[in-house]
Amino acid sequence: MNKKLRFIQVGTGGFGARWCEGILPYIVNELNIAELVGAVDVNPVAHQNAIKYTGLDAFRCYTDLRTALEEQPCDFVVIVLPAHLHEYAVDLALEYNCHILMEKPISDTIEGSCRIYHKVKRANRNMAITISHRFDQDKQTLQRLLQSRQYGKLHYLIGRFTTNNRAAVSNPREYAHHHFLISSAVHQLDILRALAGSNAKTVYTQSWNPDWAPFKEHSTALISIEMENGVRALYEGSKSNAVQLNGWLQDYYRAECELASLELDHRQLTVRSDLGFPYPNRAEVPLLEQRSWTHRWLMEMFIAWLQGGEAPPNSLDDNLQGTALQFAAIESGLTGEVIDVQTYLQNRLEVADKELG
């Protein structure tokens, strides 16, 4: 029987409220595989989410992370803070020798992401990122079908996430200098990488802002990616369109394979082929079933890792590749250059390593 791990939830308002309501009760009360020993939020009103949904005692709620770590020793922390505070929280967690499960993105800059990467490696702690959309039921069904090679080799991928988000305003604190679209597209770039079964080799972005869009940053992009395994991907994203064709959780992917075309649209997966039996002219593929998806599943896998299991597919190492693709895509959109993603990442890792001494 594994020892039940102790953890602190950092951030219980905003998206942290969703963690308190939908994820923590599953882990703590339903599966009973970890013990919530504290919750932190600078806003005491947000503590109510942890108290109400998980039954945490009020005396275990803190407005200061250091005090919580000092008074409630734990094995890991869950960080659900705005991205510009991620490095601050990671630093404190490592100081107290904790493993870390943290919301995407690693940081709001590539420099911060590389510093966090080195710090975690030097501290020899486990860290994973809840880049959740890739781990949703529909994407996993498509990914596993591609991995099975049932329809032969993967040729190329198309992805689409287009919305009318004109009423939204970009969050200047979180992404002061970045394209609103591409920062939001972190999930879709990660999904394309997973569907391809490869990290990115090069990326070329055309990004812009139509004159009717209220955004400061580029809100539309066409992104072309060549993966290290030779698979090509084309991604269309916009937050400035007149209609939401494929929004959150309803995004579109098409995988052109040697023997069939696999299309995922609004969570429906269809296979089409003109090649005749045994390949279907048109067939719906039922989505896979398992006990949990997205955050719940990611937290289960993280806990299993800390208990001696294998590293989960959303480990810090994996997510750094997605992060590099994201920031290289942003840079390509700003410079008009094709970016070699691996060189881009290696250069920034070296700079961060020197900076940390």
Ligand X SMILES: NC(=O)c1ccc[n+]([C@@H]2O[C@H](COP(=O)([O-])OP(=O)(O)OC[C@H]3O[C@@H](n4cnc5c(N)ncnc54)[C@H](O)[C@@H]3O)[C@@H](O)[C@H]2O)c1
| Shortest distance, position 14 Cβ to ligand X, whole Å | 2
Instruction: Please write down the HEC assignment for all residues of the chain.
Output: CCCCEEEEEECCCCHHHHHHHHHHHHHHHHCCCEEEEEEECCCHHHHHHHHHHHCCCHHHEECCHHHHHHHCCCCEEEECCCHHHHHHHHHHHHHCCCEEEEECCCCCCHHHHHHHHHHHHHHCCCEEEECHHHHCHHHHHHHHHHHHCCCCCEEEEEEEEECECCCCCCCCCCCCCCCHHHHHCHHHHHHHHHHHCCCEEEEEEEEECCCCCCCCCCCEEEEEEEECCCCEEEEEEECECCCCCECCCCCEEEEEECCCEEEEECCEEEEECCCCCCCCCEEEECCCCCCCCHHHHHHHHHHHHHCCCCCCCCEHHHHHHHHHHHHHHHHHHHHCCCEEHHHHHHHHHHHHHHHHC
Structure tokens at 217: 């940053």
8 Å CB contact between 262 and 151: yes
| Shortest distance, position 247 Cβ to ligand X, whole Å | 13
Of residues 134 and 201, the one with the C-beta less far from ligand X? 134
Of residues 105 and 333, the one with the C-beta less far from ligand X? 105
Of residues 71 and 350, the one with the C-beta less far from ligand X? 71
Residue 26's Cα: distance from chain center in Å?
20
| Shortest distance, position 179 Cβ to ligand X, whole Å | 15
| Shortest distance, position 64 Cβ to ligand X, whole Å | 7
| Shortest distance, position 85 Cβ to ligand X, whole Å | 5
Of residues 36 and 257, the one with the C-beta less far from ligand X? 36
Cα separation, 149 vs 89, in Å, equals 42
Of residues 26 and 208, the one with the C-beta less far from ligand X? 26
Of residues 2 and 43, the one with the C-beta less far from ligand X? 43
| Shortest distance, position 80 Cβ to ligand X, whole Å | 5
| Shortest distance, position 32 Cβ to ligand X, whole Å | 24
| Shortest distance, position 204 Cβ to ligand X, whole Å | 26
The type of residue at 319 is N
Of residues 28 and 80, the one with the C-beta less far from ligand X? 80
| Shortest distance, position 277 Cβ to ligand X, whole Å | 41
How far lies 24's CA from each of 2, 30, 93, 300, in Å?
A: 19, 9, 19, 11
Of residues 47 and 201, the one with the C-beta less far from ligand X? 47
- The site for ligand X (CB under 6 A) is made up of 10-11, 13-16, 40-43, 46, 65, 80-83, 85, 103-104, 130, 132
Of residues 109 and 273, the one with the C-beta less far from ligand X? 109
